[in-house]
Amino acid sequence: MLSKSQLLLLVVGFCLNAATLADVDCSRRPAFVNPKTCCPMPDFVTDELKEKCSRFEVTPPPPTTGEASGSFESRRRHHHPHPPSCFFSCIFNETGIYQNRNLDQDKLQSHLQVVFKDSAELQTAATQAFTTCVAKIVEFEENLPARPSPPPGLPICPHDAGHLMGCLYRNLMKNCPDSIRNDSQECTDMKEYFNKCKPPRGAPPSAEVM
């Protein structure tokens, strides 16, 4: 049985933790920290895959004025350039992990055993992240209206691959194994922000932390 002094310490610790979480200001996003700083893990995309899909690794042009004032996705793409969905579609097609909104568990496990060969914990966390994120992405995509055609010269690629990759990294950030997690203040601040503050309404699963 705990003594009175031990109980008091537990209560004080709980209150301090609650106060810290309550102080998270959701209107102010913390300074950007590279996810690999907080959860240092090997690249999910191997050099071989990057070479095979290099023709798609280009930043899309800024949206038109109408797009910039439209959806959350178009605003996010304008302010935070990232490799387009064609690149991630190529990655998933080459590995066979995710195609036509279907997850191939056997091919996923084969790939994870290569890229995360030194960490069974990371393999487990990534498997859970894929399962969770694919379900969320499929639900999100099914409820989207038809998208306009891309500008001339750009390939037509499904957006779900890009959303899936974003969702995966955020999920792994939240559930990073204790054995490799970085508990620095900047990483703790970012994790608390994403855990406590919800993304804008209508945001894709890639903006969520699950």
Share of the chain above pLDDT 70, in %: 64
Q: Determine the pLDDT at residue 146.
A: 65
Please determine, for residue 204, whether its predicted confidence score (pLDDT) is greater than 60: no
Q: What are the pLDDT digits (tens) for 112-161?
A: 999 999 999 999 999 999 999 999 888 877 776 666 666 666 666 778 89
**Residue 25 maps to a domain:** no
Lowest-pLDDT choice from 76-85, 97-106, 138-147, 194-203: 76-85
CATH number at residue 198: 1.10.238
Query: Domain span at residue 175?
Result: 44-142+154-207
Q: Determine the pLDDT at residue 66.
A: 45
Q: How many domains does the chain have?
A: 1
Task: State mean pLDDT over 183-208.
Answer: 72
Q: Determine the pLDDT at residue 163.
A: 87
Q: What are the pLDDT digits (tens) for 12-57?
A: 343 444 434 446 788 888 887 887 888 899 999 999 999 999 888 7
Please determine, for residue 162, whether its predicted confidence score (pLDDT) is greater than 70: yes
Chain position carrying tokens 């990294």: 169
**Residue 122 maps to a domain:** yes
**Residue 192 maps to a domain:** yes
The model's pTM:
0.67
Q: Which pairs from 177-185 meet CB under 8 Å and 24+ separation?
A: 177/119, 177/121, 177/122, 177/125, 179/119, 179/121, 180/39, 180/40, 180/41, 180/119, 180/121, 180/122, 181/38, 181/39, 182/37, 182/38, 182/39, 182/40, 184/37, 184/38
Q: Determine the pLDDT at residue 149.
A: 65
Please determine, for residue 203, whether its predicted confidence score (pLDDT) is greater than 80: no
Choose from 19-23, 70-74, 94-98 the range with maximum mean pLDDT. 94-98
Q: What integer best gives the mean pLDDT of the chain? A: 74
**Residue 18 maps to a domain:** no
Q: Determine the pLDDT at residue 6.
A: 43
**Residue 7 maps to a domain:** no
Give the end-to-end CA distance of the chain in Å, rounded to a whole number. 36
Q: Determine the pLDDT at residue 169.
A: 85
**Residue 177 maps to a domain:** yes
**Residue 79 maps to a domain:** yes
